[in-house]
Amino acid sequence: MRSISQNYQNFCLRKGTWRADEDQMLRAYIKRYGIWNWNEMPKAAGLLRSGKSCRLRWMNYLRPGIKRGNLSKEEVQTIIKLHKMLGNRWSAIAEKLPGRTDNEIKNFWNTYLRNRFKNNISNTAVQAPKLQGTGPVNDINENQHMEGNVGSLESSGEPSFRDQPFSMEAQMCKVEDYGETYTDEMWVQELLSYPNASHNFECKQRNSSDIDVSLPTSPNILNSEEYSSNGTLPMSPIISTDNFSSSSSNPVKDFNENQHMVEIGSLESFGELPLWDHPFSMEAQLWVQELLYN
DNA sequence: AACGCATCCAACCGCCCCACA
DNA sequence: ATGTGGGGCGGTTGGATGCGT
């Protein structure tokens, strides 16, 4: 139970964006006295801020060693990899990225990645993530070749992943993930193992046997050389059903002319799971591959 | 120039965990 | 065993900014 004086103090506290002088006061105080008690420090430092607010400001902005600016390609890859393993444990992910904060990673993920999956954008007008004040809006052109940059990916000097044309078969058949070759089957299993997917799966108390992720026959595998030299991405790529068994239990039952998976096993029942709410768009696939491709 | 919409991200909020009395 | 407070975490909000018309 909070005391009246505590409530009064909280009432008097400032909120919102930190001013430069507040930053300076907090920085100077911690430099001199160190961190000893977040709730008491603001008063001692002469700040009209809550301890929580001070802690957050320090941890996410003022702390020495904080990196500002775009995430590097390597950092993005690390985030994706760790998110696969850890889910939304942003602080755990941040530990592996020196200078990056959990808040920053969380924002990045929410903005650039989750929304990419969530949005099922028209398959001929794919918009790449836009970076505020740092780069151009990226559009995929009529030939479905992405142009521009994604975060700081363009700064690597390496040929853009987007410069490489992909057939839909190639996208579905192979994704390089840190040296691992992903088959279609692995791809589906990987997505099923997605932390949120399993969470929602548990919430719905579904039997795991409801989902059959096996692919009775393997689709043709194209290596990177093959699909990078295979001409341009077709305007309306359609994955050949010949690549899959016609088994009714096939999770990748169909691939329609709109480049969408019509049904992925029982996944359509994951109502509240954004990833599964929408079928994979061309954009989502390209985006993931761009980030994972070496 | 002005307006509306979209996007980003710093900051806040509520909850949880843990140490300690 | 229980209550309390500090710290940490993930989810969400809203102000700032960019962009298109």
Task: Give domain status of residue A83, yes or no.
Answer: yes
Number of domains, chain A? 2
CATH at A26: 1.10.10.60
Q: Cβ of residue A57 near strand B, that is under 7 Å?
A: yes
Q: Are residues A78 and A56 in the same domain?
A: no
Q: Cβ of residue A52 near strand C, that is under 7 Å?
A: yes
User: pLDDT tens for residues A134-165?
Assistant: 322 232 222 233 322 333 333 333 322 332 32
Of A72, A210, A35, A223, nearest in space to A80 by CA: A72
Task: Give domain status of residue A276, yes or no.
Answer: no
Q: Cβ of residue A131 near strand B, that is under 7 Å?
A: yes
Q: Cβ of residue A102 near strand B, that is under 7 Å?
A: no
Task: Give domain status of residue A165, yes or no.
Answer: no
Highest-confidence range of A7-16, A39-48, A166-175, A214-223, by mean pLDDT? A39-48
> In sequence order, which residues have a C-beta less than 8 Å from that of residue A238 and are 6 or more positions away?
A168, A255, A256, A257, A259
Task: Give domain status of residue A22, yes or no.
Answer: yes
Q: How far is the CA of A18 from the C1' of C14 (A)?
A: 15
Q: Are residues A23 and A58 in the same domain?
A: yes
The predicted pLDDT at position A113 comes to 61
The predicted pLDDT at position A208 comes to 30
The predicted pLDDT at position A36 comes to 84
Task: Give domain status of residue A238, yes or no.
Answer: no
Q: Which nucleotides of strand C lie under 7 Å from a protein CB? A: 4-12, 15-20
Q: How far is the CA of A91 from the C1' of B1 (A)?
A: 45
- The tokens for A106 are 């969380």
Average pLDDT, rounded, for chain A = 51
Residue type present at position A223: N
**A102, A121, A140 — which closes off a domain?**
A121
| DSSP class per residue in A28-79 | HHHHHH--S-TTTHHHHHT--S-HHHHHHHIIIIISTT---SPPPHHHHHHH
- Does residue A66 surpass a pLDDT of 60? yes
Task: Give domain status of residue A218, yes or no.
Answer: no
Q: Cβ of residue A16 near strand C, that is under 7 Å?
A: yes
**A106, A121, A136 — which closes off a domain?**
A121
What backbone phi and psi angles, to 5 degrees, belong to A277? Answer: -60, -35
Q: Cβ of residue A115 near strand B, that is under 7 Å?
A: yes
Q: Are residues A86 and A49 in the same domain?
A: no
Q: Cβ of residue A91 near strand C, that is under 7 Å?
A: yes
Protein residue nearest nucleotide B10, by CA to C1': A17
User: pLDDT tens for residues A256-284?
Assistant: 223 333 223 233 333 333 333 333 444 44
Identify the band that residue A87 occupies on the pLDDT scale cut at 50, 70 and 90. Answer: confident
Q: How far is the CA of A58 from the C1' of C12 (A)?
A: 21
Q: Which helix (H) or strand (E) holds A6?
A: helix A4-12
Q: Which nucleotides of strand B lie under 7 Å from a protein CB? A: 7-14
- Does residue A116 surpass a pLDDT of 70? no
CB-count burial class (<10 Å; 0-12, 13-18, 19+) for A226: middle
Q: Are residues A74 and A117 in the same domain?
A: yes
Q: Cβ of residue A294 near strand C, that is under 7 Å?
A: no
User: pLDDT tens for residues A181-228?
Assistant: 333 344 444 444 444 333 333 323 223 333 322 222 222 222 222 222
> In sequence order, which residues have a C-beta less than 8 Å from that of residue A262 and are 6 or more positions away?
A253, A254, A255, A256, A279
Cross-strand bridge partners of residue A128: A138
- Does residue A105 surpass a pLDDT of 80? yes
Task: Give domain status of residue A233, yes or no.
Answer: no
Three-state SS annotation for A167-231: CHHHHHHCCEECCEECCHHHHHHHHHCCHHHHHHHHHCCCCHHHCCCCCCCCCCCCCHHHHHCCC
Residue range(s) defining the domain that contains residue A80: 68-121
Identify the band that residue A119 occupies on the pLDDT scale cut at 50, 70 and 90. Answer: very low
Task: Give domain status of residue A266, yes or no.
Answer: no
Identify the band that residue A62 occupies on the pLDDT scale cut at 50, 70 and 90. Answer: confident
- A36 CA: nearest nucleotide by C1': C6
- Does residue A125 surpass a pLDDT of 70? no
**A95, A121, A147 — which closes off a domain?**
A121
